Structure 1
Amino acid sequence: MPVRAGSAVLEGQLTVPAAARGMVLLTGDGAWQGIAIALHRAGLGTLAMDLWDSTEPAAYRNVFDIVLLAHRLGAACDWLHKYTALPVGCAATGTRAAAALEAAADHSTLRAVVSLSGRPGLARPSALVRVSVPVLLITGDLDTALIGRTRLAADWLRCPYRVAEMPGVADPAAGDALHHVPRLMTDWFTEHMAAPTEAFGVPARP
């Protein structure tokens, strides 16, 4: 399924279950298959895609260009909402998680964000303070450096958020931790995506 984001054309795999009640954009390096299956069973559709045009040479892809990635991610979320007329959330790994948070600050179509072993600290503080939708930050408790950076990023948030530390895990986007992650993510999206942003109230601290 091609999605235009500015001059780029992004390819993605779209799945819309019968009677879907929301859509989740999945992006970044990660094993999304099990997560996608869990989301589908919960009545949530998915669009799994990278944020690079297939014509862009790998050598010129700057995964740390958060502004560019946020622009493309936001455009993809806008397209997904227009195409399905459903609430849209985003789950992202690595630097794409920072892009998802930046996009959430500027795109009203994005209703919830999950960072899975992501780099939220690469998002600009000026964007983090403007995020108004619920944010779930999943890390492994063995990656102490990432936990520290994630908590620092979370301190800038003024929205409902949760930092979920997976015990005994370095990277929750890979390996045995993946059997815990789908339920955690599914619960977050089903709980938050359909509700009006104004109903979230006081930020939920971990």
Structure 2
Amino acid sequence: MQTLQVQIPVDYVKLGGILEIPGTARGVVVFVHGSGSSRFSPRNRQVAAGLQREGFATLLFDLLTQDEQRHDDVDATYRFNIALLARRLGSTLGWLRQWAEVATQPVGLFGASTGAAAALVAAAQINTVSAIVSRGGRPDLAGTALASVRAPTLLIVGELDTEVIRLNQKAAGQLTCEHSMAIVAGATHLFEEPGTLDEVTRLAAGWFGRWLTRAIS
């Protein structure tokens, strides 16, 4: 397993990231975190570790600089700027192609909270995304971009996260791509209940295994 601490140049800033590549990767999954989170998110890192065991390379990266995050913590300047977050994600996907170990691998996106909306908007704009998984996401914030998403999309929501279930159902009705919705029993928004994040990992690994493998063949 290679573990690389990277700096990703986007816009006028550099974003920190962690790129981890197993010996023989069968795809690369880029994590798009939600507001107030970062590449050090313990939940995303747990899911990433599970995907690595299944043979996927992973990239966890910061959508905001430390200064931007401090501003966002005060007045939410950036967290709902989906266009900005999607643009930075798109630039990051282009940057990722410089790494020979993953340059030709199919790409999946794993979005959480507002990061799920950014993932969907970016996927609607570029054709290099082969699959998307949303965990407790806000796909509704992707707006009119939903109808242009071509990558197969899995929406995972906690059973007890009733408002987010409603928003995901609304968004699913606007998707024209292959899509599915999975409800994790006993889970709230952050999937902090025992075993619930393991179920998220199982569902994500299955979805990426299905669609990223198909993208290779």
Report the TM-score when normalising by structure 1.
0.89
Alignment partner of 1:175 is 2:180: no
Deviation, structure 1 residue 165: 0.7
Identity score, percent: 37
Paired residue type of 1:88: V
Q: How many residues end up aligned between the 2 structures? A: 197
Distance 2:190 2:97 in 1: 28
Provide the residue aligned with 1:202 in structure 2: none
- On the 8 A contact 2:31/2:111 being kept in 1, the answer is yes
**1:8-47 mapped onto 2 (5 Å cutoff):** 8-28=13-33, 29=37, 30=41, 31-47=43-59
Provide the residue aligned with 1:204 in structure 2: none
The answer for unaligned runs of 5 or more in structure 2 is: 1-5
Alignment partner of 1:103 is 2:156: no
Provide closer, same or farther for how the CA distance between residues 33 and 57 of structure 1 changes in structure 2, counting only shifts above 3 A. closer
Aligned with residue 88 of structure 2, among 72, 75, 79: 72
Encode CA deviations 1:19-43: one digit per residue, 9 max, x unaligned. 1111111131451222112111111
Deviation, structure 1 residue 141: 1.6
Distance 2:204 2:147 in 1: 23
SS at match of 1:63: coil
Provide the residue aligned with 2:166 in structure 1: 148
Deviation, structure 1 residue 57: 5.1
Provide closer, same or farther for how the CA distance between residues 57 and 142 of structure 1 changes in structure 2, counting only shifts above 3 A. closer
Alignment partner of 1:63 is 2:79: yes
- On the 8 A contact 1:19/1:43 being kept in 2, the answer is yes
Report the TM-score when normalising by structure 2.
0.85
Out of 93-102 and 19-28, give the one that drifted further: 19-28
The answer for unaligned runs of 5 or more in structure 1 is: 200-206
- On the 8 A contact 1:139/1:172 being kept in 2, the answer is no
Out of 78-87 and 140-149, give the one that drifted further: 78-87
